[in-house]
Structure 1
Amino acid sequence: MIRFALSVAALIATCLPAWATDQVTTFDLDNGMEVVVIEDHRAPVAVHMVWYRAGSADEPVGESGVAHFLEHLMFKGTDTLAPGEFSATVAKQGGSDNAFTSYDYTAYFQRVAADRLDLMMRMESDRMVNLQLSEDNIKTERDVILEERNMRVENNPSALFREQKNAAQYLNHRYGVPVIGWRHEMAELSREDALSFYGTYYSPNNAILVVAGDVQPDEVRALAEKYYGAIPANPDLPQQRYRSQEPPQLAERRLTYRDARVAQPYVSRSYLAPERDAGAQEKAAALTLLAEILGGGQTSVLVEKLQFETQKAVYAAAFYGGTSLDDTTFSLIAVPSQGVALQEVEDAMDKVLKDFMAKGIDPEQLARIKTQIRASEIYARDDVEGLANRYGRALTQGLTVQDVQDWPDILQAVTADDIMAAARDVLDRRQSVTGWVMAEEVTQ
């Protein structure tokens, strides 16, 4: 089976076309708003996205969750749109819309027929400056986000554990605070809190407009200047994103999370790791490949050793999230087999890592992974919404359009030596947090 997979990978490597550059046009409006246009004329569809360089890591201390709270409130109406009318209008046009918040950004998007782009820009630019909030809106939506926390976090032991582990990983940086917020602070969020965040960060000179699909750059420019260009820049926008930085981590951190609802115990470890930086993505590329080599699939090192050879685990994986404004994490997970203790599976995982550091990388495995990544990068260009998302996330997290377009080639240029050097730098127990997730101990 492995020989067959290698043959398929080799065939794909010879058949895939050379990298093609996305049809991307960029320009800035006079008020400082950045615009990215991605052309894809295969279907008469357009994706319209507005990204704000403001996420949960930009929140004032004591107001955790206000970025996500404001995301909800942005659908409550303006001087010209009644509460709920925005989404209802999009639906009447046969489109869909939504929004999402992360540590480094908040984004709003609509997917509609390309000839409805004018309407989308008119409505989105309207709520950039004319949001209207009543105390009833605040109370209702605060209850909604608290219930969302109940469903997504409080009722999920793994989510509660991740919150605790992130807080242990980031002692000083706001990445240690959950995007949705701490419950006790969410319950106190006010109209003034939401409007203050809105007034500080929701302005054209802090936003990126991404339009992708069956559009022409000149037409997008004309519409953007008509609707967004009429909005004045915010002169009081902070000149830089004020982030408290992590102090050097000098000692391993550990935690044990017990919850009666845990059906399957597991070990999770994360290491502080560098993010993708503008003009310097090589180390992040090496870590991306390291995650694939260690735990990216059925032929990865952790899976082969822990699941197949020793059968100490029923699941093992490695993850790296390089698209981040500040230091991110490189993570490992191992779920023990029946009858295997957490300490035993952690020891087995550490042995695999030690052996890997001693033996190095299998050249055939690296070649196969590069081929798979190359294929996935090419296939991803078939999704216009995914392309818009890729550019928006990158630009709000400090990268450039050129960085996005260079990324596939940078991944292919990574060598085994680059990967091992990154592994030596990052897989340092002194920069790690290891957590055990287990059920409550039964007492008589």
Structure 2
Amino acid sequence: MGPIRPLFIISLSLCIIFATSPTRLFAEETIPTLFDPKVTTLDNGLQVVVLEDHRAPVVTHMVWYKVGAADEKPLKSGIAHFLEHLMFKGTKTLQPGEFSEIVAENGGQENAFTSQDYTAYFQNVSVDKLPLFMEMEADRMTNLILTDEIVAPELKVVLEERSQRTDNNPAALFGEQFDAAQFLAHPYGTPVIGWRHEIENLTTEDALDWYKTYYAPNNAILVVAGDVNAEEVFELAEQYYGPIPAREIPKRERVQEPPQLAKRVIEMSDKRVRQPSWRQSYLAPSARSEDQENVRALEVLSQILGGGVTSRLYNDLVVEKKIATNAGAYYQSGSYDKSTFVLYGSPTPDHSLEDIETAVQATIEDIVKNGVTEKELIRAKKKLLADAIYARDSIRGAANILGSSLASGETIENIVNWPTHISKVTAAEIQNAAEALFDERQSVVGRLLPEPAKS
């Protein structure tokens, strides 16, 4: 249920580029743009994005609502995710569960997901079924029917989901506590699924209020990817979604984090934990930031620090020092508000979390002081751009990338030109970004431990 990393689709010509010498690898004229999306906006405000891909007669149809868990009101945590469940419970023309039955009868796949910043619904179907699913998705955008008899059983389903995925998982519980420590004021500190005591009190009225407030065409993005013609999709969108009236949508205003003046440390122990783990996070800009150079530099830095077995942290802690069973980093740039840059590791049996933290800090200090090597820089760029090529293999993956990025506030221009932006990142920019980011006073450290044995 988290945001999706923006790895972008690039033409196969990059495979040839990768075989050239490093000095030619990132020449500006050789870096293609992202896929070529066709975009229009209906009179009611619905943005329609089409990605033509004619390799197979299939299509992914997605509707993204620009509202998520971080937009919830106080004491109503979990309502965004709860309504996602309820959207399958029937409309004026479809009985509860009938939407899913029709998808299955037509050989399709469907699902939905909620994040802090958006809620999305999708179907993967044969291209000839696109009009049918456009009609059904448009229907539940405006004609959802909810009653207490429908809502009450589904609330139990959501509570059971929380029990299975979070309450019975110490790592998930720890993650909630860690996020709450990172975001003292901002709603990113509240879990997407919601706090149990607040979920228990959600009502039919709460769900309908959320639906009537945010589920409108002028607060949504329609993404269609596959064996389609853009103009034909625009006509279908006008036919099925066009009649739905726009609504007045509340301005997206969230409480922002106050300046962090002191390092925060949380520690949690649980008898179910077998392997201790350590993490440290720093607030970082999101991809919709105006400072695109800094964002892209941090994306490359996260690859250098945490991009698999060749990364700096894995090599330093696991391969050379042999003090960790794993180590790495990741940067969640795809959020609407400020994001996080996270470092992590787990110690070998004869080492401690303090050993991990000390070694990670030494690696960070080296990058801040000496920067990254040219070899690391080139390898990281190659990996990021290669991953973008692999993303092309999935039609739904392409739709996910574009939909999640747009719903999180990024522009088409920045999404399309991501490969060029990555190719231009320099070692000096990475060093400057690292120096600005890694301030110990503005970090959160978390330690998850096995419960001590009772004496």
* 1:178-214 per-position Cα deviation (integer Å, ceiling 9, x unaligned): 0000000001110011001101000001010001101
Output the CA distance in 1 between the equivalents of 2:308 and 2:34.
28
Q: Quick one: structure 1 residues 433 and 396, their matched pair in 2 at CA, closer, same or farther if it must change by over 3 Å?
A: same
Number of residues paired by the alignment?
Answer: 434
Residues 14-25 of structure 1: matches in 2 within 5 Å?
Answer: 14=20, 18-19=31-32, 21-25=34-38
Correspondence for 1:196: 209
Residues 31-70 of structure 1: matches in 2 within 5 Å?
Answer: 31-70=44-83
8 Å CA contact 1:278–1:403 kept in 2: the answer is: no
- Secondary structure (helix, strand or coil) at the match of 2:308 reads coil
Question: In the alignment, which of 77, 83, 99 is matched to residue 96 of structure 2?
Answer: 83
Larger mean CA deviation between 348-357 and 135-144 belongs to 348-357
Correspondence for 2:8: none
Output the CA distance in 2 between the equivalents of 1:223 and 1:62.
40
Question: In the alignment, which of 115, 129, 133 is matched to residue 116 of structure 1?
Answer: 129
For structure 1, the residue ranges without an aligned partner over 5 or more in a row are 1-8
Question: In the alignment, which of 285, 291, 296 is matched to residue 285 of structure 1?
Answer: 296
Return the offset for 1:10.
10
* 1:78-105 per-position Cα deviation (integer Å, ceiling 9, x unaligned): 0110111101101111110100000000
Residues 178-193 of structure 1: matches in 2 within 5 Å?
Answer: 178-193=191-206
8 Å CA contact 1:95–1:111 kept in 2: the answer is: yes
Question: In the alignment, which of 358, 378, 387 is matched to residue 376 of structure 1?
Answer: 387
* 1:27-56 per-position Cα deviation (integer Å, ceiling 9, x unaligned): 000001100011001111111000000100
**Larger RCO: 1 or 2 (CA < 8 Å, sep 6+):** 2
Question: In the alignment, which of 414, 437, 445 is matched to residue 426 of structure 1?
Answer: 437
Return the offset for 1:280.
4.1
Correspondence for 2:279: 268
Question: In the alignment, which of 316, 322, 325 is matched to residue 333 of structure 2?
Answer: 322
The answer to whether 1:386 aligns with 2:397 is: yes
8 Å CA contact 2:68–2:114 kept in 1: the answer is: yes
8 Å CA contact 2:279–2:447 kept in 1: the answer is: yes
Question: In the alignment, which of 347, 365, 375 is matched to residue 354 of structure 1?
Answer: 365
* 1:394-415 per-position Cα deviation (integer Å, ceiling 9, x unaligned): 1111112211111111011000
Question: In the alignment, which of 251, 255, 272 is matched to residue 244 of structure 1?
Answer: 255
Larger mean CA deviation between 396-405 and 175-184 belongs to 396-405
Return the offset for 1:66.
0.2
Question: In the alignment, which of 371, 378, 387 is matched to residue 367 of structure 1?
Answer: 378
Correspondence for 1:136: 149
* 1:241-283 per-position Cα deviation (integer Å, ceiling 9, x unaligned): 0111111111100010111100000111111001112664221
8 Å CA contact 1:281–1:407 kept in 2: the answer is: no
Output the CA distance in 2 between the equivalents of 1:329 and 1:50.
27
8 Å CA contact 1:48–1:211 kept in 2: the answer is: yes
Return the offset for 1:356.
2.8
Output the CA distance in 1 between the equivalents of 2:138 and 2:212.
14
Correspondence for 2:18: 12
Output the CA distance in 2 between the equivalents of 1:318 and 1:10.
29
Q: Quick one: structure 1 residues 85 and 279, their matched pair in 2 at CA, closer, same or farther if it must change by over 3 Å?
A: same
Q: Quick one: structure 1 residues 137 and 206, their matched pair in 2 at CA, closer, same or farther if it must change by over 3 Å?
A: same
Correspondence for 2:11: none
8 Å CA contact 1:19–1:378 kept in 2: the answer is: no
Question: In the alignment, which of 86, 107, 111 is matched to residue 94 of structure 1?
Answer: 107
8 Å CA contact 1:23–1:40 kept in 2: the answer is: no
Return the offset for 1:132.
0.6
Correspondence for 2:427: 416
For structure 2, the residue ranges without an aligned partner over 5 or more in a row are 1-14
Give the TM-score normalised by the residue count of structure 2: 0.93
Larger mean CA deviation between 115-124 and 379-388 belongs to 379-388
Residues 136-215 of structure 1: matches in 2 within 5 Å?
Answer: 136-215=149-228
* 1:322-371 per-position Cα deviation (integer Å, ceiling 9, x unaligned): 01100000001110011212222212221222223223211112111211
Output the CA distance in 2 between the equivalents of 1:352 and 1:416.
16
- Secondary structure (helix, strand or coil) at the match of 2:202 reads coil
Q: Cα RMSD between the aligned structures? A: 1.6
The code of the aligned residue for 2:160 comes to E
Output the CA distance in 1 between the equivalents of 2:62 and 2:291.
27
Output the CA distance in 2 between the equivalents of 1:245 and 1:145.
29
The answer to whether 1:309 aligns with 2:326 is: no
8 Å CA contact 1:13–1:371 kept in 2: the answer is: no
Give the TM-score normalised by the residue count of structure 1: 0.95
- Secondary structure (helix, strand or coil) at the match of 1:14 reads coil
Correspondence for 1:222: 235
Return the offset for 1:425.
0.9
Correspondence for 2:84: 71
8 Å CA contact 1:268–1:333 kept in 2: the answer is: yes
Over the matched positions of the two proteins, sequence identity in percent amounts to 51
Return the offset for 1:11.
8.0
